[in-house]
Amino acid sequence: MTPEMARRRIETLRAEIAEHDYRYYVLDAPTWTDAEYDRHWQELQELEREFPQWDRPDSPTRRVGGAPRSDLVSVRHDQPMLSLDKVVDQAGLRHFDRRLHERLGLPADFALTYVGEPKIDGLALSLLYEDQVLVRAATRGDGVMGEEVTANVRTIRSIPLRLRPGSRPHRLEVRGEAYLPRGAFAALNRELEAEGIRGFVNARNAAAGSLRQLDPRITASRPLAFSAYGVGQLTEAGLPDGQDALLAWLREAGFPVSPEIRRLEGMEACWRYFEQLNERRDALPFEADGVVFKLNDRMGQERAGSVARAPRWAVALKFESEETETTVEQIEFQVGRTGILTPVAQVTPVFVGGARVAHASLHNVSEMHRKDVRVGDRVILRRAGEVIPEIVRTVMAESGSRALPVPEPTHCPACGSPVERDLGGILIRCSGGLHCPAQKKEAIRHFASREALNIQGLGEKRIDQLVRADWVRNPADLFALEVDRLAGLERMGKRSAEKLIAAIQASRNTTLARFLYALGIREVGATTAELLAHALGSLEAVQEAGLDELCAISGIGPIIGHHIHAFFDDPGNRDVIGRLREAGITWSSPAPQLPASGSRFAGASLVLTGRLTTMTREEAISAIRSLGGVVSSQVSAKTRYLVVGENPGSKLDDARRLGTEIVTETEFRDWIGFPPETSGPHLQ
User: Could you give the domains of the chain?
Assistant: 3-55 (1.10.287.610), 86-318 (3.30.470.30), 322-422 (2.40.50.140), 433-507 (1.10.150.20), 512-587 (1.10.150.20), 605-672 (3.40.50.10190)
Residue 467 above 90 pLDDT?
no
Average pLDDT over residues 237-260: 89
Q: What is the mean pLDDT of the chain?
A: 82
Whether the per-residue pLDDT at 153 is higher than 80: the answer is yes
Say yes or no to pLDDT of 54 above 60: yes
**pLDDT tens per residue, range 67-89:** 555 567 888 888 888 888 888 88
Specify the pLDDT at position 270. Answer: 96
User: What's the burial of 666, exposed, middle or buried (CB within 10 Å: 0-12/13-18/19+)?
Assistant: exposed
Residue 241: strand, helix, or coil: coil
* SS3 category, 418: strand
pTM of the model: 0.54
CA 621/CA 598 separation, integer angstroms:
19
DSSP-derived secondary structure for 266-282: HHHHHHHHHHHHHHTGG
More confident residue, 605 or 175: 175
pLDDT at position 630 over 80? no
Compute the distance between CA of residue 599 and CA of residue 43 in angstroms, rounded to an integer. Answer: 65
DSSP letters along 453-488, please?
T--TT--HHHHHHHHHTTS-SSGGGGGG--HHHHTT
Give the neighbor-by-neighbor strand order of the sheet with 113-120. 86-87, 314-318, 288-295, 113-120, 262-265
What stretch of H or E contains 175?
Answer: strand 171-179
Lowest mean pLDDT across 326-330, 346-350, 379-383:
379-383
Model confidence pLDDT, tens digit, residues 579-588: 999 988 988 5
pLDDT digits (tens, 9 = 90+) for 184-194: 888 888 887 77
Mean pLDDT across 388-400 = 72
Instruction: Please report the pLDDT score of residue 289 as a whole number.
Output: 85
Task: Spell out the residues 6+ positions from residue 593 whose beta carbon is closer than 8 angstroms to its own.
Answer: 537, 538, 541
pLDDT band at residue 591 under the 50/70/90 scheme = very low
Tell me the pLDDT tens digit for each residue of 511-545. Answer: 898 899 999 888 788 767 877 887 788 888 888 88
Look at residues 643, 474, 449, 638 and name the one whose alpha carbon lies nearest to residue 548: 638
Backbone φ and ψ for 490, nearest 5 degrees, come out as -60, 135
For the annotated catalytic residues, the residue numbers are 119
203 in Cβ contact with 121 (< 8 Å): yes
* 679 vs 182, higher pLDDT: 182
The reported pLDDT for the residue numbered 230 is 92
- Please report the pLDDT score of residue 417 as a whole number: 87
Q: Give the pLDDT band (50/70/90) at residue 174.
A: very high
Burial of 237 (0-12, 13-18, 19+ CB in 10 A): exposed
Tell me the three state secondary structure of residue 662: strand
Q: What is the DSSP letter of 519?
A: T
The 10s digit of each residue's pLDDT in 101-151 is 998 999 988 999 999 999 998 899 999 998 889 999 999 887 888 889 998
End-to-end distance of the chain based on CA atoms, in angstroms? 45
pLDDT score, position 160: 93
Average confidence (pLDDT) over 373-397? 77
The 8-class DSSP code of residue 286 comes to S
Rg (CA), the chain: 28
pLDDT of residue 26: 66
Give CA–CA dist 85/148, Å, rounded: 26
Beta bridge partner(s), residue 350:
357
DSSP string, 501-518: HHHHHHTTEE-HHHHHHH
CB of 44 within 8 A of CB of 13?
A: yes
Backbone angles phi, psi at 134, to 5 degrees: -65, 120
In this prediction, residues 235-256 reach a mean pLDDT of: 85
d(CA 41, CA 249) in angstroms, rounded, equals 28
